């Protein structure tokens, strides 16, 4: 049986350049809307959080991910994904995963059943032309992680 992948592994597999792209996807307004701003700031270990400080903190954040900081990995993924909630909704609709209309779904329900053979490649091919590849790959891996799908990170 394959072990459950860790989110820090996903970032490492994506690489530093894609990680920097993902940091650029974080919206301070979305963090505030979803009441994640303070938590994100604490986990990023930033006294003040804005786009410029986040960009400048990239080397330090990357180093922590290299060391396997799972709390940071989860917080960063959540920040990127709530900043791109329309994309998340589109992917869930594409996969036929029932959700609340805002991208949130019952992780205990039937969502895992929708992740049939080849789902990662179908999502990648279906969305890579309209969204940054780094975002598509992060969400593919995050969705697998959330639904406890074992395996290695999906990266192309």
Across the range 88-95, mean pLDDT stands at 96
Question: Could you tell me the pTM of the whole model?
Answer: 0.93
Contact 136, 129 (CB under 8 A): no
**Helices assigned H by DSSP within 5-132:** 7-14, 16-24, 28-33, 37-44, 51-56, 58-66, 70-82, 85-95, 119-127
Going from the C-alpha of 63 to that of each of 20, 59, 68, 91, 114, the distances in angstroms are 12, 6, 9, 30, 35
In this predicted structure, the answer to whether residue 114 has a pLDDT above a threshold of 50 is yes
Contact 10, 153 (CB under 8 A): yes
Predicted confidence (pLDDT) per residue in 11-48, tens digit: 999 999 999 999 999 999 999 999 999 999 999 999 99
In this predicted structure, the answer to whether residue 3 has a pLDDT above a threshold of 70 is no
- DSSP string of 41-68, one letter each residue: HHHHT-SS--HHHHHHTHHHHHHHHHTT
Domain segments of the chain as ranges: 1-148
């Amino acid at each position: 049986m394959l072990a459950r992948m860790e989110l820090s592994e996903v970032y490492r597999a994506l690489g530093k350049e894609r990680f920097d792209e993902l940091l650029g996807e974080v919206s301070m307004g979305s963090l505030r809307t979803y009441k994640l701003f303070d938590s994100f700031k604490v986990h990023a270990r930033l006294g003040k959080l804005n786009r410029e400080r986040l960009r400048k903190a990239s080397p330090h954040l990357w180093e922590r991910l290299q060391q396997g900081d799972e709390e940071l990995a989860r917080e960063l993924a959540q920040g990127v994904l709530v900043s791109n909630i329309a994309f998340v909704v589109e992917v869930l609709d594409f996969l036929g995963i029932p959700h609340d209309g805002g991208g949130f779904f019952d992780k205990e329900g039937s969502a895992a059943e929708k992740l049939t053979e080849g789902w990662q490649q179908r999502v990648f091919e279906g969305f890579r032309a309209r969204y940054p590849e780094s975002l598509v790959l992060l969400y593919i891996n995050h969705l697998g992680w959330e639904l406890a799908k074992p395996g290695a990170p999906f990266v192309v």
